[in-house]
Amino acid sequence: MMSDAPHEPLDRSSGEAGSAPAGGKRNWLGIQFECCTTYSRIYKNGAGTAYVGWCPRCGRRVNVAVGPGGTDARFFRAT
């Protein structure tokens, strides 16, 4: 049965807030999921400690920790 009511976005952040910082821009990483040869962006969790996301086809989870020093790279492969 279809409904005309708007759908709420699916939040898979394990209960953590996913609000955008002032200005509406969210930090992201581009991930090439080799499991299904698909691409998706993943975003920082509410605590700002990691980038978390899922493969858009199979749902495989990827978690990239934020650490001291970091990197300037924005695109990665999940193998």
Q: Provide the pLDDT for residue 22.
A: 65
Q: Provide the pLDDT for residue 77.
A: 97
Query: What confidence tier does 4 reach under pLDDT thresholds 50, 70, 90?
Result: very low
Instruction: Please tell me the distance from the alpha carbon of residue 56 to that of residue 58, in angstroms, as a whole number.
Output: 6
Instruction: Please tell me the distance from the alpha carbon of residue 6 to that of residue 8, in angstroms, as a whole number.
Output: 7
Q: Provide the pLDDT for residue 19.
A: 53
Determine the average pLDDT of the residues in 53-65: 97
Q: Provide the pLDDT for residue 65.
A: 94
Q: pLDDT by residue (tens digit) across 8-52?
A: 444 444 434 445 566 678 899 999 999 999 999 999 999 999 999
